[in-house]
Homo-oligomer: A and B are copies of this chain.
């Protein structure tokens, strides 16, 4: 039940790094229950658990609270997210001592690969040098926010 302040930077990848293809991946489906200004409330369901997440704030620094749901509640709340859902597979790696989630999207977002790098403070976030396979920074880009990917699909400006 990770909670509190989250500092991360987000990058577009041209493809899933070949060295990660065989890494363990966790299928994730998530849907948005409520979107209200800077606040979003989402349900995320993985094979292990269902979690309700409330995020508030913009850009690199956001407040995030997670509440674990039982299966019945996860399913009931999922029903309320129709038309605002996405699916992806998450793999995890380390770069320069930072935890990195690499998300390969599926369904309507097939072909999109995004990495989120987590930092312990803003100084290390600023100091991070992205490897060459990270083709563009997406931090704070609303078109690539998951809520907008779920609502509107792939951004038109995505490089092939």
Contact = CB atoms under 8 A, between A and B. Distances in A.
A65 B72 CA distance: 10
A73 B34 contact: no
Contacts of A80: 39, 54, 56, 63
Number of copies: 2
Contacts of A35: 34, 36
29 contacts: A3-B72, A3-B73, A4-B76, A33-B34, A33-B36, A33-B39, A33-B41, A33-B56, A34-B35, A34-B36, A34-B39, A34-B40, A34-B41, A34-B54, A35-B36, A36-B36, A39-B80, A41-B41, A41-B54, A52-B52, A52-B54, A52-B67, A54-B77, A54-B80, A63-B76, A65-B77, A67-B67, A67-B69, A67-B73
